[in-house]
Amino acid sequence: MIKLTDASQNLNKYGCYIVREVADFRKVNFKKIQKDTQNLIDKLIVYTPSRSFNLSDLSTEPGIDMEKFQKTFQLGEQKISNSLFKGGEKNWSNLVPQVTIKEPLYNLPSISDLVFNPMWLDIASDYLGGPAKITFAKVKKTYGNNININSTDQKYHVDDNADEKLLKFIIYLNDVEKGNGGFHYVKNSKFNSLKENRHYFEDSEIELAFPEEDILEFIGKAGSAIFVDTLGIHKAGLISNSDRYALLINFGLKREYNGERKDQLIKKDIYDSLNTRVKPMCEFMEIKV
Ligand SMILES: [Fe+2]
């Protein structure tokens, strides 16, 4: 049973809260979500994936690194070629770390029960100090390609945000075992001095600066879920064996990036089916038939 006070206390104290025993999740067909996700990948209803990045190129020096990266990605230098993309997943699954579904709340209705749970609204609103909205939703498949492919997520970092809190909710859509792609979060790191003017960190620095029990590797069955404030230090785990599917939801009180990014879509059928209590979570989305 989830207690709202536990969630707030944990988020405020450690920067994370692991959600356990969600009764509603027993009704969720995770196999179907995976199948639907794969169908969308096969139909190329995904963003063109980006090639891996050499993690050693990621400077852990103060200041410049995040900016340099954002520029690289904005220029699209890392995207795979159009012809490679059009050839389908088999052509790129050994070249890229992951692929992301386009407009998941429009194209993937099977996730709606997972996303629109009044409990998430309560937890997020309580932590953020106001009526929380979904500011971004993402469904991604991370490839277990075992060829040392890395993404920028896989180095310890803090997310870039001007706000004081950045709340994300991660739900695994398949089982994630130890050492195979689990999300890593460093408890009590949000206000640590190591973070000053820096975005990326070496594993060795983290191991030195924090006690072992604060370095959390989040693993679990499909439906395992965690709320995290990603202004604390975190990284995605490296995957070796099997592909990993995950749903990520960002919560906020304002639109991300000062509202410069286009609102995500939600399918009208999904929106109409929501109860009035959770509907306001969609304020920053565009309803489309
Ligand atoms: Fe991150």
Q: Give me ligand 1 centre to Cα 156, in Å.
A: 8
For residue 164, pLDDT beyond 60: yes
| Rounded distance from Cα 271 to ligand 1 centre (Å) | 28
Res. 228: pLDDT tops 80 = yes
Nearest to 156 by CA among 234, 61, 237: 234
CA of 139 to the centre of ligand 1 (A): 15
Centre of ligand 1 from the C-alpha of residue 184, in Å: 10
Expressed in angstroms and rounded, the spacing between residue 286 Cα and the centre of ligand 1 is 25
Using the mean position of ligand 1's atoms as its centre, give its distance from the Cα of residue 272 in Å. 32
Per-residue pLDDT at 268: 98
For residue 149, how far is its CA from the centre of ligand 1 (angstroms)?
17
**How far apart are the CA of 266 and the centre of ligand 1, in A?**
24
Give 260-288 pLDDT, tens digit per residue: 889 999 999 999 999 999 999 999 999 99
289 Cα–ligand 1 center, Å: 32
Burial of 225 (0-12, 13-18, 19+ CB in 10 A): buried
What is the C-alpha end-to-end distance of the chain, expressed in Å? 36
Average pLDDT on 142-157 reads: 75
**Tell me, what's the pLDDT at 77?**
55
> Looking at the predicted structure, is the pLDDT value of residue 2 above 80?
no
Expressed in angstroms and rounded, the spacing between residue 234 Cα and the centre of ligand 1 is 6
CA dist 17 → 144, 192, 287 (Å): 27, 19, 31
For 75-95, write each residue's pLDDT tens digit: 545 788 999 999 999 999 988
Rg (CA), the chain: 18
- A 10 A CB-CB count for 162 gives 8
Question: What per-residue confidence (pLDDT) applies to 45?
Answer: 98
The Cα 126–Cα 4 span in angstroms is 8
Condensed to tens digits (0 to 9), the pLDDT of residues 4-61 reads 888 989 999 999 999 976 767 778 899 999 999 999 999 999 999 988 766 666 666 6
pLDDT of residue 56: 62
Q: Going by DSSP bridges, is the β-strand pair 133-142/98-100 parallel, antiparallel, or unpaired? A: antiparallel
Residue 188, classified by CB atoms within 10 Å of its CB into exposed (0-12), middle (13-18) or buried (19+), is: middle
Q: Ligand 1 centre and the CA of 181: distance in Å?
A: 14
pLDDT at 72 over 60: no
CA of 275 to the centre of ligand 1 (A): 31
- % of the chain residues with pLDDT over 70: 87
Task: Give the per-residue pLDDT at 258.
Answer: 82
| Per-residue pLDDT at 189 exceeds 60 | yes
Tokens of 67: 């900016």
Higher pLDDT, 55 or 128: 128
Q: How far is the CA of 235 from the centre of ligand 1 (A)?
A: 6
Ligand 1 center to residue 276 CA distance, Å? 32
Give the span between the Cα atoms of 22 and 267, in whole angstroms: 25
What is the chain's mean pLDDT, rounded? 88
Question: Residue 242 — very low, low, confident or very high, per pLDDT cuts 50/70/90?
Answer: confident
Distance 268 CA to ligand 1 centre (A): 30
